[in-house]
Amino acid sequence: MERALAGQPEFDLYRPAEEHDMLRDAVRSLAEAKIAPFAAEVDEEARFPREALAALVANDLHAVHVPETYGGSGADALATVIVIEEVARVCGSSSLIPAVNKLGSLPVILSGSEELKKQYLSPLAKGDGMFSYCLSEPDAGSDAAGMKTRAVRDGDHYILNGVKRWITNAGESEYYTVMAVTDPEKRSKGISAFVVEKSDEGVSFGAPEKKLGIKGSPTREVYLDNVRIPADRMIGAEGTGFATAMKTLDHTRITIAAQALGIAQGALDYAKGYVKERKQFGKPIADFQGIQFMLADMAMKVSAARALTYQAAAASERVDADLTYLGAAAKCFASDIAMEVTTDAVQLLGGYGYTRDYPVERMMRDAKITQIYEGTNQVQRIVMARNLP
């Protein structure tokens, strides 16, 4: 995004540049060596993937979207997608490290003051702290404008009170972009955005949710009890927070598409290898036409999801007029495909696919959330219908 805004050359969305191919190879090698070996354990124990975080930080892959000005890699939207996709191919939970770092910090990039960018993007780029995004509440999910968290001005400070729910990596992240009501009379135009730090007095966290999938990424409530923060931690002008939140999701829904795409690819790759080794009736089951047709359909769907996701990444980089539509379409389509492909992978492995001894059942469980978070796929269809190109 920064490159496009600065007048840098655009990439061909159908033929990734050589640097993107090199990035994919590097991330895949790293993911297979340093992340994949711990994926089953992370899921089984429902623990944060510290090995993945360490590996990503050591290789500057934890927040590649941060502009070079603030010490980041300045990666374009497609590069960010490729990183998330390749990590998700082996571990869905670990892919939420780069994905949510972008989600949490993008409001600062889009609307924050120069001082705020220096203060928070630099430590993010160094790996000194992750970023999370606090929009949803117990009674404000799809209807995010109905939130109740309040921010009241008190001299040179704001005092925040409220509860945020379904916050990814809560408790692990050092920084939180928090949406709060500053003028309850204006509904969405009375919502402002702030950066809250984990160490701020009055910040606490609920118990981790017991989830179906992505068990290695903690999902917790964030409690704000008279949290007093400097007024200069507001992101943009007062009352612009909801608009910033929606602009952010236009870009970051594509990262969820990337996560879904990676999970689907991982399941397809594993299933392809399995059917070549599994023998029935005297030959590999890969020789049977019914199996071949299933694999062909799975591969076709993954290819289609990749094309749409990369097209959306190109729109994100250029900030195209149809970005809202494409972001929603990519997220919706790729996540639906991920659910289909992982379910088919379990079927191809038969009884083995239903056990935790093989990774495809984990991939199927991980895929489900991609149809739900950052806006359910029902909401994505509403967004698409309202923004048809």
Kindly state whether residues 375 and 246 are assigned to the same domain: yes
| Domain residue limits at 155 | 131-239
Kindly state whether residues 225 and 278 are assigned to the same domain: no
Kindly state whether residues 210 and 247 are assigned to the same domain: no
Kindly state whether residues 280 and 378 are assigned to the same domain: yes
Q: How far apart are CA 185 and CA 188, in angstroms?
A: 9
Mean pLDDT by 10 residues, the chain (389 residues): 42 67 97 98 98 98 98 97 98 98 98 98 98 96 92 98 98 98 96 98 98 98 98 98 97 98 98 97 97 98 98 97 98 98 98 98 98 97 97
CB-based burial, 346-357: b 16+ in 10 Å, e otherwise: bebbeeebeeee
Kindly state whether residues 26 and 118 are assigned to the same domain: yes
Name the pTM for this structure: 0.95
Q: Tokens for 221? A: 């409530």
Residue pair 161/150 in contact by the 8 Å Cβ criterion? yes
The pLDDT of residue 9 is 43
Q: How far apart are CA 217 and CA 52, in angstroms?
A: 11
Kindly state whether residues 174 and 276 are assigned to the same domain: no
Kindly state whether residues 115 and 145 are assigned to the same domain: no
- Give the closest residue to 94 by CA, choosing from 142, 135, 48, 59: 48
The pLDDT of residue 309 is 98
Number of domains comprising the chain = 3
| Final residue in a domain of this structure, among 239, 262, 286 | 239
Half-sphere exposure of 287 (CA within 13 A, CB side): 8
The CA radius of gyration of the chain, in Å to the nearest whole number, is 21
Kindly state whether residues 187 and 158 are assigned to the same domain: yes
Region label for 46, one of left (φ > 0), alpha (ψ between -120 and 50) or beta (otherwise): left
CA geometry: angle at 246 spanning 239 and 142, to 5°?
100
The pLDDT of residue 17 is 79
Q: Tokens for 303? A: 């290819």
| Final residue in a domain of this structure, among 82, 99, 126 | 126
Kindly state whether residues 341 and 362 are assigned to the same domain: yes
We report the CATH number of the domain holding residue 88 as: 1.10.540.10
Q: Tokens for 178? A: 């928090």
What are the residue numbers of the active site?
A: 374
**Phi, then psi, of 221 in degrees rounded to 5:** -80, 150
Strand-pair partners of 223: 163, 204
Kindly state whether residues 355 and 266 are assigned to the same domain: yes
